[in-house]
Amino acid sequence: MYKRSEGFFKGYQDINLFFQIWENPNAKGTIIFTHGHGEHSESYHRLTSAFENDSWSFYGWDLRGHGKSDGRRGYASEFDDYCRDYKIFLDMVLQDEKVRKGPVILLCHSMGALIELKTLMRNPDLKFDGIVVSSPLLGLAITVPAIKSRAASILHKLLPQVTLGNELDNSMLSSDVDVLREYEQDSLRHTRMSPGVFLGMLESWNYVRPRANEIKKPALFQLPEHDPVCSTPDAKSFYEKMGSKRKEIYIYPNAKHEIYNDVMRNTAFADLKKFLDSFLESK
């Protein structure tokens, strides 16, 4: 049984950001996870529940403008604000004596993966043991209307705090009807994105993709075969170019974007467990 707690920490420019902990009294290691665009840390209760009787504690946080964190929904002045917040959160968690006693795995999903990968490349001295990447935002599978792409640059200069709807609907995220019902009733979810985030996302691809070989820690990639949101081919290409001596990839044929909340999640959890257990066995 977890001992669950929550709180706030000061992110970049002193914004209040929410975090929560699922502490396992018998934990031998720690998983720090970063959610994707439009969702929040509570969206991972199925993941944490799947490992409640295992050997891991979980730390999750809400991006600025997401979940219970402060900020206009979907707004950041620039994409790198997320990376700065993430670095602050990592530094805080990694200072915890209980966390330092065992392996630390950084788990990320969708836009959270782009945030994580960029942050790790910029901070090569961060202490952790491996990464788990779910449906990473390393390219888009959906088509952004040309007028919206052109408007982003103009709006970023004239109305930087405006947020525009993305092109997603819940049916792209999961095939589980209970999950979809939960999403429809979740007032903390949103579909907004500021021009600064959108433009920064494009710039971040140009930064991250050519540097895949800089990621050298053990890595697990979990991808839908045909992700309706993020580009699976771009994710595979990044994976193949990574510098990790140990890396594993699982492709799920009928999965939607949010693997851990889809109908095949137990298969994904079993694959994840095998990867995680290897860190405990090596200690």
What is the pLDDT confidence band of residue 56, given thresholds at 50, 70 and 90? very high
pLDDT of residue 196: 87
Q: How confident is the model at residue 195 (pLDDT cuts 50, 70, 90)?
A: confident
What does the pLDDT average to over 213-221? Answer: 98
The string of pLDDT tens digits covering residues 93-143 is: 999 999 999 999 999 999 999 999 999 999 999 999 999 999 999 999 976
Mean pLDDT of the chain: 92
Give the predicted TM-score (pTM) of the model.
0.94
Q: What is the mean pLDDT of residues 8-25?
A: 98
- Tell me, what CATH number does 125's domain have? 3.40.50.1820
Mean pLDDT of 213-237: 97
Which of 260, 33, 230, 252 lies closest to 137, judged by CA? 230
Query: Does the pLDDT value for residue 157 go beyond 80?
Result: no
Pick from 132, 170, 110: nearest CA to 275: 132
Report how far residue 225's alpha carbon sits from residue 256's, in angstroms, rounded to the nearest whole number.
9
C-beta of residue 19 within 8 angstroms of C-beta of residue 61: yes
Local confidence band at 194 (pLDDT 50, 70, 90 cut-offs): confident
Q: Quick check: 254 pLDDT over 90?
A: yes
Q: Which domain range does residue 38 map to?
A: 3-281
The total number of structural domains that make up the chain: 1
